[in-house]
Copies of this chain bind each other. A is one copy, B any other.
């Protein structure tokens, strides 16, 4: 993906417009170019100077946003010590997101989806070979950090762990949605349970 620093202002405006609309609850598959460019404050034709079609705009915008989000999350996470604390922090972020706009959670969903977003995902899978699947990448770094570079488990185990951690986070999100009104105390309890579960699974796998 292009370097953020070199991102042209028009491209950035388009990305941010899409993310904003998405955050406001818009369905990615019914988003229109008119909405996007209008929100971005540019002409409709201009968008086509930077992207070949609508799908590319949306897919790249998603990618850009997830990248931003993951980078930020990873950086913040570094301030925490140990997997447990890091996961606690992550779940806090997930929780806030869901409470606010459910946006990142829906993004994860969109990116996990291998068929609904059609062409958009094809493009993502293409770029994936270049840069890695940004979300998985972050989790992978998390795992490596925890193990230390000298004690790296086999690639298969890493792959398995990535999926397990991701599915646990999704799991937490789903539970939150189900019990959206539950009290702070209960939520604290649940968060701890989740992190315990995640850590237990992690240490069992890496032995």
Kindly identify which residue among B109, B160, B170, B193 contacts A160, using a CB–CB cutoff of 8 Å: B193
Which of A64-72, A76-84, A141-149, A171-179 forms part of the interface with chain B? A171-179
Which residues of B are found within 8 Å of A30, using beta-carbon distances? Answer: 29, 118
Cβ A171 vs Cβ B175 within 8 A: no
**A132 proximal to B (CB < 8 A):** no
Chain A interface residue number, banded:
35 or more
A5-31 toward B: CB 8 Å interface, digit per residue (1/0)?
000000000000000000001011110
Nearest residue, chain B, Cβ from A157:
B193
Cβ B116 vs Cβ A110 within 8 A: yes
**A114 proximal to B (CB < 8 A):** yes
Which residues of B are found within 8 Å of A174, using beta-carbon distances? Answer: 112, 163, 166-167
Cβ A29 vs Cβ B116 within 8 A: yes
Kindly identify which residue among B29, B115, B167 contacts A106, using a CB–CB cutoff of 8 Å: B115
**A41 proximal to B (CB < 8 A):** no
**A102 proximal to B (CB < 8 A):** yes
**A188 proximal to B (CB < 8 A):** no
B-facing residues in A64-120 (Cβ within 8 Å): 102, 106, 109-110, 112-118
A-B contact pairs, 29 of them (CB 8 A): A25-B115, A27-B115, A27-B117, A27-B118, A28-B116, A29-B29, A29-B30, A29-B116, A30-B118, A102-B114, A106-B114, A109-B109, A109-B112, A109-B113, A109-B116, A112-B174, A113-B113, A116-B116, A156-B186, A159-B178, A160-B193, A163-B171, A163-B174, A163-B175, A163-B178, A164-B171, A164-B197, A167-B168, A167-B174
Instruction: List A residues at the B interface (Cβ < 8 Å).
Output: 25, 27-30, 102, 106, 109-110, 112-118, 156, 159-160, 163-164, 166-168, 170-171, 174-175, 177-179, 186, 190, 193, 197, 201
